[in-house]
Amino acid sequence: MKCGDKVNLKNRIRKRSVNTRTNGNGRDEAELLPEKDHESLSDSLEENLDRIRASLGNSWDLAIRSIFLGSSGDIRVAVLHMNGLSDNKLISRFMESFMLNGKEVSLAGPGNEDGPAHTLRSLKDHLITLGTVEEKHDYKAILNCLLSGDSIILADRCDSVLVAATKGWDERGVQEASVQTVVRGPRESFSENLGTNIALLRRKIKSPSLWVETTTIGRITETNVSIAYVKWTVNEEVVDEVRRRLADIDIDGILESGNIEEWIQDKTFTPFPTMLNTERPDVVAANLLEGRVAIFVDGTPVVLLVPVVFMQFFQSPEDYYNRSDFGLLRMLRFVALFTTLLAPAVFISITTFHQEMLPPTLMISIASQRERVPFPAAVEAFLMEFTFELLREAGIRMPRAVGPAISIVGALVLGEAAVQAGIVSSAMVIIVSITAITSFVFPSFSMTIPIRFLRFVLMGLAAFCGLFGVFIGLIAINLHLCGLYSFGVPYMSPIAPTILGDQKDLFIRLPQWMMRKRPSFIGSPNKTRISQGEASSKFPSWQGDDGNR
């Protein structure tokens, strides 16, 4: 090929890339997508069928069945559905009705005033036995319904279609929660079906005040995204902000709620999550009753909740189900937070810079263990922590049958071998083990990831500056946390700013009859959760004034 031919070829390619878009197979997207000037259907059945086949690339999973109805068989009807997305039993049900009662369909109504449109009306009113049947004209909406599992019914000489609700693909169903497990409480969790998830939520909140709004996001995936909130309890400004941020998303596809989270979160470059994700319907219901908004994404069991605060990630549903606990185990989680964040950094600081802080006997014991270790404490800690993170990731990615065994054997064998070989000290193995155990205490896994990241940052500061570096790192983390917001709510509420009335459910949980008000930092217009009369009625009616009986 000559040089001039190469230049002309590049120009043609560049011109084509500007004028048209191509899909992964190299075909022009303009050839696959319907032209915007012809969004309505034709009155020819064959033209409509050819157009649908061309739009789907003659896909093998497109099922088309032609039927001749009417007393003389002069009315041709086509039923389209996608194999694997539709319920074959539902389709067979109304197809049987077509076969048995199809002769009663006429081309036109009395006086021939309705024309061919009367055919679809007769099918809808007399033959189709399904609960939901809609008439549509827009071609793009019809394709979307077809690819969502609905059946499309077309008739000859008619420029509209009937859409029958026949969704029925295989799904996982409602199962026990696998991530956020509890000893006492509901066991059910969300599934990948948006309709099932909304139904699970309505089982918890049987009120017409529970409003659900659904939109479609993704130019190619056309993913259904729903927001749920309790009317008269939620802050309308938060709902409007959620609607606005969702409307601003312009992307080819949404596959999981994490894609939504990255688009609508308040601050991107922060290790801390500003949206709570959960797979439990009871957690979503409890947060909606407090005035928050839930975001459901079709195809994922993980639901997003906004707005949230930092302390909410350390609250477990079980805190509210155990009567005698009153959130006391929540204090253990805060202890675990500081342990997993600071234990390696404090050990590096004391053994490297501040040996005088340890009792002489303990200092001599640690020094004797480190006598054969060739690395400084910082290198030793980074080596052990990095090895543990590798084992953690390997245990997660390995097949479920061998993953736990690999993690346990790897930790035992590598730890014992490293001590025997003199690469690390026994004290460092203990520190890393305690750090690993405490990192699994948090109820929300999304908070575990930033703590693991910040642990290495504090270890690096401790290696250079000792405890002074650790304190500088903690101050920087606190300043960063106080500067975060979640949909207009300060991330560290009700600590900073301090709201004493909202701290009844902070470090410990007071009895529920004492928490009469909803959290004020959410901005709910309906602040009263328990009236004074309902709170006083907790005492048994048979008690006398002396309270001795």
Each domain of the chain, given as residue ranges in start order, spans 17-164, 194-308, 328-490, 500-535
Average pLDDT (192-196) is 90
Residue 501 has pLDDT above 60, yes or no: yes
Instruction: Give percent of the chain above pLDDT 70.
Output: 83
Average pLDDT (16-22) is 39
Peptide linkage before 110 cis (omega within 30 of 0): no
Average pLDDT (247-267) is 92
pLDDT at 10: 40
Q: Is the Cα dihedral 20, 22, 27, 29 positive or negative?
A: negative
Lowest mean pLDDT, pick from 108-122, 259-273, 284-298, 494-508: 108-122
Question: 117 pLDDT band (50/70/90 cuts)?
Answer: low
Whether 291 contacts 228, CB under 8 Å: no
Can you give the length of the chain in residues? Answer: 549
Whether 314 contacts 337, CB under 8 Å: yes
For residue range 350-379, list pLDDT tens digits in order: 998 988 888 888 888 888 888 888 888 899
pLDDT at 170: 74
Helices 426-438 and 328-352: crossing angle in degrees, nearest 10, is 150
Q: Is the Cα dihedral 5, 9, 15, 16 positive or negative?
A: positive
Question: 406 pLDDT band (50/70/90 cuts)?
Answer: low
Whether 242 contacts 233, CB under 8 Å: no
Lowest mean pLDDT, pick from 6-15, 357-366, 397-406: 6-15
For residue range 334-351, list pLDDT tens digits in order: 999 999 999 999 999 999
pLDDT at 114: 55
Residue 234 has pLDDT above 70, yes or no: yes
Task: Please state, in angstroms and rounded to a whole number, the distance separating the CA atoms of residues 134 and 151.
Answer: 11
**φ, ψ for residue 35, nearest 5 deg:** -70, 140
Q: Are strands 276-278 and 293-297 parallel, antiparallel or unpaired?
A: unpaired
Whether 288 contacts 211, CB under 8 Å: no
What's the whole-model pTM score? 0.82
Residue 533 has pLDDT above 60, yes or no: no
What DSSP element (H or E) covers 163?
strand 161-164
Q: Using CB atoms within 10 A of its CB, is residue 314 exposed (0-12), middle (13-18) or buried (19+)?
A: buried
